[in-house]
Structure 1
Amino acid sequence: MQLNQLLSRAFSILALSAAGLLAASASAQTQNYIELTPPQPSDTAGKVEVLEFFAYTCPHCKTMEPLVANWAKTLPDNVVVRPVPVAFNASMADLQRMYYTLESLDRLDLHNAFFRAIHDERKRLFDAKAMAAWAAEQGIDNQTFEGVFKSFGVNTKVSRANELAKAYKVEGTPTLAIGGRYVTSPSMNSSYEATITQAQALLDRVLKN
């Protein structure tokens, strides 16, 4: 083969390689979810889990919460949506305990009310004392609240929430984890609604497989 033919073929190979790299780069830039390796197991036996990582101090979480709640109503019986409170520093641990205390007391009807108290009413509910006072205003016995808030069960759930946030590499909220395999969030999509649409597509993929 003549030298000019060899050079022509070499340039063609380089051009194809460069095009492939550019296409891969463009794909990565437009990726609106992350695939986890390895996949994470479900904590709910026999169920596909959708984990909703949130923080009470996050205004985006407050906005996204009703969308997730409405979406959850459309999901099949073998899928469960589990909110997971996230703490990015030690000062947020009491906010995690607040969610699990409401859950343990069967008062998750106050979940959105607590969001509103922080963001709409501008109440500074960031420590155990302030949270207990707010809970009392909602009709929860103070002694009962404090006993659950500091309980072994709530502390165990907080520890597990921290493990999950680390395993799913959660760096911001809100974040949705789908079936232990995929993670998506508004920061990866064009809107809150687009995030739900993407989460549904990922869930469909998990259920199909």
Structure 2
Amino acid sequence: MMMTRREFQVGLLGLLGTALAPRVVGAQMLVEGRDWRPLSPPQPSAEPERIEVLEFFSYGCSHCSQMNPLITEWAEALPSDILFRRVPVTFGRGAWVALARLFYALEFGGHLAQLDQAVFDAVTRQRMNLYTERNILKWIAEQGLDADAFAKVYNGFAVEMALRKAADLERRMGIDAVPRIVVDGRYVVTGDGAAGHAGLIRIAEQLVEKARVQRG
């Protein structure tokens, strides 16, 4: 259900060597240590007045790809007091930095909704090597976008700053596997024994309610 640093490395080496989920329903009593763990020390939200939900992921993670349609649908229906953000992880490796840079370039360029799942599919299903700028720009052109214009965003200041902030979040929140959901800078969804990706989101929903109650 999750991909660790080690599994991510093995999967990436395999890729380089070769060139929808059910709706979330129901609830259960959460158990600390099984379903979630506290984040110590708690981390501030980008918007302190809202409950922040962070999804740490990578385009190179097949589990993230499988969960993406479900969590996207879930996020679109969240109430206004919830801030949902996606954070691409790199684990400090250059190939994964390229994927994270691709995510932010799509987001800032206004193409994320159009190509988000397509990137997942290209990397995890079609086994495409999107770990270099050259290959990424070639793929972008094949999707009908202006590769030169995209390159300016890809190498731009906004993407560079977003990468730095993402790396800082990854470090401060101790992210060691993906997909990983963190609620309100205080609760990390572990989901040991959770019923698939829907189960992880169900736990996140309950932690949102826990955070809302504690905030009063």
Q: Distance in 2 between matches of 1:166 and 1:29?
A: 22
Q: Which of the pair has the greater relative contact order for Cα pairs under 8 Å at 6+ separation? A: 2
Whichever residue aligns with residue 153 of structure 1, its letter is A
Q: Does 1:31 find its partner at 2:34?
A: yes
Residue 90 of structure 1 corresponds to which residue in structure 2?
94
User: Once superposed, what is the RMSD of the aligned Cα atoms?
Assistant: 1.9
Query: How far did 1:192 drift?
Result: 1.2
Residue 71 of structure 1 corresponds to which residue in structure 2?
74
The 5 A counterparts of 1:153-168 are 153-168=158-173
Structure 2 gaps of 5+ residues are 1-29
Q: Distance in 1 between matches of 2:100 and 2:78?
A: 26
Query: How far did 1:29 drift?
Result: 8.7
Q: Distance in 1 between matches of 2:32 and 2:49?
A: 35
Query: How far did 1:137 drift?
Result: 1.4
Q: More helix per residue: 1 or 2?
A: 1
Native 8 Å contact 2:34 2:192 kept in 1: no
TM-score w.r.t. the length of structure 2 is 0.79
Native 8 Å contact 2:34 2:191 kept in 1: no
Residue 183 of structure 1 corresponds to which residue in structure 2?
188
Query: How far did 1:45 drift?
Result: 5.4
The 5 A counterparts of 1:111-190 are 111-187=116-192, 189-190=194-195
* Change over 3 Å in CA distance of 1:29–1:75 after alignment to 2: closer
Query: How far did 1:41 drift?
Result: 0.8
Query: How far did 1:163 drift?
Result: 0.5
**Alignment length, in residue pairs?**
183
Local SS of the residue matching 1:53: strand
Larger Rg: 1
Query: How far did 1:82 drift?
Result: 0.6
Native 8 Å contact 2:37 2:190 kept in 1: no
Residue 108 of structure 1 corresponds to which residue in structure 2?
112
Native 8 Å contact 1:53 1:84 kept in 2: yes
Local SS of the residue matching 1:122: coil
What CA deviation, in whole Å up to 9, does each residue of 1:53-75 have, x standing for no partner?
Answer: 00111000001111211211331
Q: Distance in 1 between matches of 2:213 and 2:31?
A: 24
* Change over 3 Å in CA distance of 1:34–1:95 after alignment to 2: same
Query: How far did 1:185 drift?
Result: 3.9
Local SS of the residue matching 1:158: helix
What CA deviation, in whole Å up to 9, does each residue of 1:30-62 have, x standing for no partner?
Answer: 521111122111113532211010011100000
